[in-house]
Homo-oligomer: A and B are copies of this chain.
């Protein structure tokens, strides 16, 4: 399958600079991929023209309009038809591109992607997924904020989408999937999480349903895929990031405390650099909008070229792994003889 990634060249704090530089890094990693950049040609071309190899596999499509970081999703949807973000999504809908990456306004990107691409058959609502380092390697979690309130059907569908992501991007053949809860016993949690667990226990998905996990299991990496509603997932993810920052700050302050600790830091620096690399948020840059007819990756708005290249990498892996097809197959698996996911969940 030829891979063409549509890029919103104007989204993000320092666009289009990090977009062009990030795409150059991605080009070297994925020599088969092609790119289409949407945005202001007068600003993109001078940057692109310096990259001799990139210019051969990257087209520019000019548009003046951009979605601002503070634009409301509804506003972007109504007035943003000519924006670089919308044009990049349209390229996926028309089949010209196989995936889209944007570092722009998250709400606008989700609203436009949902409107233009629609959800995969069998999926009611798209979700936001991401992956992060754990003691055992890497895990993914969803939903991270697209759906503040979720019923059990949504949770079951998120499990399907998360497992497909773990198979295509994390490369886990039969991922373990769990529902995030306040305890591991059957009767714990609210109605939605309990009935989603029942459906997942009784179904025949190509992944291993583990049951419930608790908040501490996220960083432990107890399972490959952690499923939760968008309210809890968003808060859990940000709480995790905040704690990591707190820890780094305390650590830096500790090393600066005395001459001895400064020398100690210098001696341990190579090892600490490895640790820093292991936890580098740029490696884990890229929130995937899953459940849509097309691959949509949201890069962090404040990222740099390295981070943007990681986001492109996620999009390429999802395309290569036939992400959308996997979800479709799993939805059909559950909806065998005339039964839809929704009915199975209700039964």
Contacts and interface: CB of A to CB of B under 8 A. Distances in A.
B250 A182 contact: no
Interface stretch (A52-60, A108-116, A252-260, A336-344): A252-260
Interface in A122-158: 133-135, 145, 148-149
Given A189-B231, A275-B251, A242 B216 contact: yes
A50 interface: no
A174 interface: no
A235 interface: yes
Contacts of A286: none
Instruction: Tell me if A's interface is mostly helix, strand, loop or mixed.
Output: helix
A236 interface: yes
A271 B242 contact: no
Contacts of A135: 246, 249
A211 interface: no
A182 B149 CA distance: 12
Contacts of A243: 218-219, 239-240, 243-244, 247
A99 interface: no
A180 interface: yes
Interface in A287-342: none
B257 A238 contact: no
B242 A215 contact: yes
Nearest to A239: B215
Interface stretch (A7-15, A84-92, A262-270): A262-270
Given A245-B219, A246-B219, A249-B135, A257 B271 contact: yes
B216 A239 contact: yes
A49 interface: no
B249 A247 contact: no
A78 interface: no
Contacts of A149: 190
Given A232-B235, A264-B266, A244 B242 contact: no
Contacts of A251: 251, 275
A102 interface: no
Given A217-B242, A219-B239, 19 more contacts: A148-B190, A182-B235, A189-B231, A215-B235, A215-B240, A218-B239, A218-B242, A220-B245, A231-B232, A232-B232, A235-B236, A239-B243, A243-B244, A257-B270, A258-B270, A260-B267, A260-B270, A261-B272, A264-B264
